[in-house]
Amino acid sequence: MINEITSRSLPSYFKPCKRDDPNLNECLIKLMDSIRPHISKGMPEMHVLPLDPMMIPSVTLNQNSTGSVNFVALFTDLKGYGANNFQINKIKANFKNQSFEIDLNLPLFKIESRYEVNGQILVLPIKGNGKFIGNFTNAHAKVKFELRIFEKKNHKNFIEIKKNKINLELGAVKLHFSNLFNGNKELGDQTNRFINENWTDLMQEIRPLIEDTVAAIVLGIFKPVLETFSMDDLFPV
């Protein structure tokens, strides 16, 4: 999720918040709202690709356990719609403690992709390949970043994300896997229905896997920005 750019200057529409601003958190929320149209279309000046649609080459979910959910799923050519409609509830930036937290809602997010899956979900086997569609409504996420602030040889301070963790709650979920079991419609319909009716139980089993996957995607968005622009660029004194 990285674009090549040659300039290290912030775009004119990006108005950074001063790190010693007593209302820094509120300033950051306003900043995110102000750059929303640019985030939607992409910000090549800052190595940020479009959020709508969000393009992800591939994601692998490998739930290797002795429990009731055990599968390997490969999703390719993912397109995500709706990420630009995020609603930020709270931002908590603490550079002294080198931490950053975001609390947000996402009303609707849709994924379209190709898939390959093989394994077992709860009591049912699942196997197939084809088109996948997922609709996720009323998602709530808390994202926590553990930072490292360090000085480069150019005597400028940069920010590195040492660790990021996401707590994710999903309101409603509707999934559909086409062409399960080599196109057996009866088995495919039965499996899709079972997954959707038992999504809450399934999510409890695979929550760490899903949260780690989303965290990796989020890291891929922020990392190139922080590698390109210094702390003084993004959060001037």
Q: How many CB atoms lie within 10 A of CB 189?
A: 12
Question: Given CA atoms 237, 164, 33, 26 in this order, what sign does their dihedral have?
Answer: negative
Q: Look at residues 165, 167, 168, 159 and name the one whose alpha carbon lies nearest to residue 223.
A: 159
Q: How many CA atoms lie within 13 A of 54 on its CB side?
A: 20
Residue 140: what pLDDT? 97
Burial of residue 152 (number of CB atoms within 10 Å: 0-12, 13-18, 19+): exposed
Q: What is the mean pLDDT of residues 135-159?
A: 94
Q: Is it the case that residue 204 has pLDDT exceeding 50?
A: yes
Q: Are 103 and 87 in contact (CB under 8 A)?
A: no
Tokens matching residue 165:
């963790």
Tell me the HSE value of 40 on the side-chain side, using a 13 A CA sphere.
10
Q: Which residues pair with 127 in a beta bridge?
A: 118
Tens digits of residue pLDDT in 159-189: 999 999 999 999 999 999 999 999 999 999 9
Which tens digit of pLDDT belongs to each residue from 62-113? 998 777 899 999 999 999 999 999 999 999 999 999 999 999 999 999 999 9
3-state secondary structure of 121: strand
Q: What is the dihedral of CA 85, 91, 95, 99, to 10 degrees?
A: -80
Q: Which amino acid is at 148?
A: R
| The pLDDT of residue 65 | 76
Quickly name the fold that domain 54-78+104-229 has: Bactericidal permeability-increasing protein; domain 1 (3.15.10)
Give the residue extent of every domain in the chain: 54-78+104-229
Q: Is the dihedral of CA 112, 117, 122, 123 positive or negative?
A: positive
Lowest mean pLDDT across 18-27, 65-74, 133-142:
65-74
The more confident residue out of 53 and 2 is: 53
Distance of CA 226 to the CA centre of its chain: 17
Looking at the chain, the whole-number percentage of residues with pLDDT higher than 70 is 97
pLDDT of residue 29: 97
pLDDT (tens digit per residue) in 35-63? 999 999 999 999 999 999 999 999 999 99
User: What CA–CA distance (Å, rounded) separates 167 from 205?
Assistant: 14
